[in-house]
Amino acid sequence: MNSNGFVPPEARAAVEQLRAYSAPLEGRRSALRLDFNENTIGPSPLVAEAVRGFSTEEIAIYPEYDGLREAVVRNMLETGCRPGLQPDQVALFNGVDAAIHAVFHAYGDAGDRVLTTSPTFGYYTPCARMQGMTIEAIPYEGEAFTFPLAAVQASIRESPPRLLLICNPNNPTGTRLAPQTILDLAASAPGTLVVVDELYEAFTGDSVLPVADFSATSNLLVFRSLSKTAGLAGLRIGFGIGHPDVIDRVGRVTGPYDVNSVAVAAAFAALADQSYVDAYVAEVLRARDWTVEALRSAGVRHHCDGGNYLLIWPQRPVAEVDEALRAEGILIRSMAGKPLIDGCFRVSIGTTSQMQRFMEALLRLDA
């Protein structure tokens, strides 16, 4: 109650039951950031140049998006997308987080069911809850965290969900799913919107874009972002790729200027410099091999599959290891409280020299 004796009005019932989705994002600047799967060396120099060259006129006017969807299409074709992709099959978002929000807003009615897996990316659940949807999260299977395909198929047969969310490779387990399997799932549930979160596909090559024909598979929506691999997390820009009608519907619940002009300028520069991203991905894959070999020879329990991250089970309690690494300026992400992987932490993979620094500290602090 405030001093006037009034209480502020209640939000929608679904919102009153939510807690704000917050990640520990303060004070990370000078540290070795292996906690959020970001690019650890920054974007292409062309991106920094585009941002520095930003004019006062560009700051003063509302953003313009002319040509950006075309640039996304060119980049997708360059990176293996099936020919024929059109600009009206691309939606622009203020990061894929905003895309996730928009999909739930456009497709999720109260009482509808969303089908997904567990553990997976943390933002799906609050978006489902804010719509009042029910969530069916099927656990990954066994020591290798295999995709629970039979259980997902059975759930669809029993009753097709409104939304099926597949993170491929999955964050944080790295679980990979063959693109054809995703197309088969989509074909088995034509009334379900199948969302494929492909933020880390550059590290696996398992994208559905080379094989998906969106006119035949019209219930598929693919997410790509410039946050992680391309190194633009601070600018917020991501893409949805799918059937023009699906793109239209998510566009209806997105604000007209949600993507800002600096992000647009940076995106043009990033999309035009695919070789920079390719070189970074190649270095991360080398660093991943080095790290896995180092963990194996030191006898440290770990799980590594797709993506620029892996899971490690320390000997000491994970909170202590987190704290000790932080004191050395190295950030990792504890998985405490996450189903199936409670007790481990996720470490993002940077360059080989960054991983050498991480491994040296880990082996010293977790002895």
Residues that bind ligand PLP (CB under 6 A): 37, 95-97, 121, 167, 171, 197, 199, 225, 227-228, 233, 238
* Amino acid, res. 340: L
Backbone phi and psi for residue 351, each to the nearest 5 degrees, phi listed first: -85, 165
Residue whose C-beta lies closest to ligand PLP? 95
Q: Which is nearer to ligand PLP, 43 or 95 (CB)?
A: 95
Q: How far is the CB of 111 from ligand PLP (least distance, A)?
A: 25
Query: Percentage helix, strand, coil, to 5, in the chain?
Result: 40, 15, 45
Query: Residues 313, 344: contact at Cβ < 8 Å?
Result: yes
Q: Which is nearer to ligand PLP, 133 or 237 (CB)?
A: 237
Q: How far is the CB of 297 from ligand PLP (least distance, A)?
A: 29
CA distances from residue 106 to 180, 245, 349 in whole angstroms, order as listed: 26, 12, 35
Backbone phi and psi for residue 28, each to the nearest 5 degrees, phi listed first: -100, -5
Q: How far is the CB of 253 from ligand PLP (least distance, A)?
A: 16
Q: How far is the CB of 167 from ligand PLP (least distance, A)?
A: 5
Q: What is the largest CA-CA distance in the chain?
A: 66
Q: Which is nearer to ligand PLP, 95 or 148 (CB)?
A: 95
List alpha helices for the chain, DSSP H. Answer: 13-16, 45-52, 56-60, 68-78, 96-107, 124-130, 149-158, 179-188, 244-252, 261-271, 274-298, 318-327, 352-365
Q: Which is nearer to ligand PLP, 197 or 273 (CB)?
A: 197
Of 41, 93, 44, the closest CA to residue 266 belongs to 44
Query: Residues 46, 268: contact at Cβ < 8 Å?
Result: no
Q: Which is nearer to ligand PLP, 96 or 264 (CB)?
A: 96
* Amino acid, res. 43: P
CA distances from residue 45 to 32, 48, 285 in whole angstroms, order as listed: 20, 5, 21
Backbone phi and psi for residue 340, each to the nearest 5 degrees, phi listed first: 75, -25
Q: Which is nearer to ligand PLP, 75 or 366 (CB)?
A: 75
Q: Which is nearer to ligand PLP, 200 or 276 (CB)?
A: 200
Q: How far is the CB of 117 from ligand PLP (least distance, A)?
A: 12
Of 96, 120, 223, 116, the closest CA to residue 163 belongs to 116
Q: Which is nearer to ligand PLP, 254 or 294 (CB)?
A: 254
Q: How far is the CB of 364 from ligand PLP (least distance, A)?
A: 29
Q: How far is the CB of 267 from ligand PLP (least distance, A)?
A: 11
Q: How far is the CB of 2 from ligand PLP (least distance, A)?
A: 35
Q: Is the peptide bond before 169 cis (omega within 30 degrees of 0)?
A: yes
Q: Which is nearer to ligand PLP, 21 or 54 (CB)?
A: 21
Quick one: which H or E segment has residue 92?
Answer: strand 90-93
Q: How far is the CB of 298 from ligand PLP (least distance, A)?
A: 27
